[in-house]
């Protein structure tokens, strides 16, 4: 099992319940592919470096999880088509 971090940039123009549902959906995807979520950090609403889909602000979430090497590819494939997710990035964390 490797340690990974999934960074998710969520649309700021949706309601709190919808935003929570998007994060829950991300966590469900991780668990669906054999991962275990260890931590979820909400970084809050931040200004974007550049405009994405005519939006200047978004909510940032960082989800740490443990999974096999094949899981991040599967997760990213499903994240690509999720509504209200502006950007995402899954990276492996080093054992330091």
Question: Under CATH, which architecture does the 6-87 domain have?
Answer: 2-Layer Sandwich (3.30)
One digit per residue, the tens of pLDDT, for the chain of length 96 reads 899 999 999 999 999 999 999 999 999 999 999 999 999 999 999 999 999 999 999 999 999 999 999 999 999 999 999 989 999 999 999 876
Q: What pLDDT is stored for residue 25 in this prediction? A: 94
3-state secondary structure of 94: coil
User: Which residue ranges make up each domain of the chain?
Assistant: 6-87
3-state secondary structure of 17: helix
3-state secondary structure of 69: coil
Q: Strands of 2-11's sheet, edge to edge?
A: 36-52, 55-67, 2-11, 85-92
Q: What pLDDT is stored for residue 72 in this prediction? A: 92
CA pseudo-torsion sign 77, 83, 85, 86: positive
pTM over 0.85: yes
Q: What pLDDT is stored for residue 96 in this prediction? A: 60
């Amino acid at each position: 099992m490797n340690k990974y971090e999934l960074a998710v940039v969520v649309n700021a123009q949706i309601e709190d319940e919808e935003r929570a549902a998007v994060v829950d959906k991300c966590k469900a995807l991780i668990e669906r592919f054999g991962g275990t979520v260890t931590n979820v950090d909400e970084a809050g609403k931040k200004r974007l470096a550049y405009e994405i889909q005519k939006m200047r602000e978004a909510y940032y979430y960082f989800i740490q999880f443990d999974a096999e090497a094949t899981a991040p590819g599967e997760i990213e494939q499903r994240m690509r088509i999720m509504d209200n997710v502006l950007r995402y990035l899954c990276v492996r964390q080093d054992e330091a």
